[in-house]
Amino acid sequence: MKFSLNNKVAIVTGGGSGIGKAISKTLAEHGTYVHIFELNADNAKTTKDEIEKQGGLAEVHNCDVSNQQNVINVIDNISKKHTIDILVNNAGVPHIGNVEKTLEADFDRVFNVNVKGVYNCIFSVIPYMKKNGGVIINMASVAASVAVSDRFAYSMSKGATLTMTYSVAKDYIAHGIRCNCISPARIHTPFVDGFLKSNYPGKEEEMFDKLSKTQPIGRMGTPQEVANLALYLCSDEAAFITGTDFPIDGGFIKLNG
């Protein structure tokens, strides 16, 4: 069966909601034992329960990806029970603002989660993957490749994610480790709904339509569409692919302008 991940073990950071939840559930549906790294215990439990209801296997770990020792401890414990085959670095935080509206605390917060968090997880899992090979998927963004207004710190972090992907792919190809990244444009997640409710009360539908039309295809993507791409990249069907960025953007990069 194509895209089978039977008997594979995956770590999905930020796997309790949005894109991470969709990836966790999709990998589990295709045979993966999923370890969900999440700070929101309620979200993580909901995702785990939904996976198990469908006959899948999942485990939840309260893990702060910005804390290297925390990440090392959790991954070391997982490795005592399982061979780690897949790492999906999905955890991330947003920030809206140009450089003048980005305080040092804002910059540090984005860097610590979106950049250091990716580094911490790769740093911790690589020694185990070097033994048996593996797949690493990093969640970048169209903001890593093209200019997006008022996303200074976020763009910085996703640019770093993109280049970390290239570096890891180059350094560990001889160890049978494939490393790619996914660059979504706007995806309709709970964050989008919360952002519109907080910033445009009473005008949510109008602004949702406006943001949707910034993608040439005329709508936002769905978490499941991103998860389907992640599934492919984690599978043996993508065995010849490494060191590549995959935009999933409704034409945002190539067709705008």
Q: Which residues carry out catalysis?
A: 154
Give the integer Cα–Cα distance in Å for 21 and 12: 9
List, in sequence order, the alpha helices (H) in 37-151.
Answer: 41-53, 68-81, 104-110, 116-132
Tokens of 47: 């995702």
201 CB-contact burial (10 Å; exposed 0-12 / middle 13-18 / buried 19+): exposed
Query: CB 76: neighbour CB atoms within 10 A?
Result: 12
Strand order in the sheet with 33-38: 57-62, 33-38, 9-13, 86-89, 134-139, 177-184, 245-248
Of the chain, the end-to-end C-alpha distance in Å amounts to 41
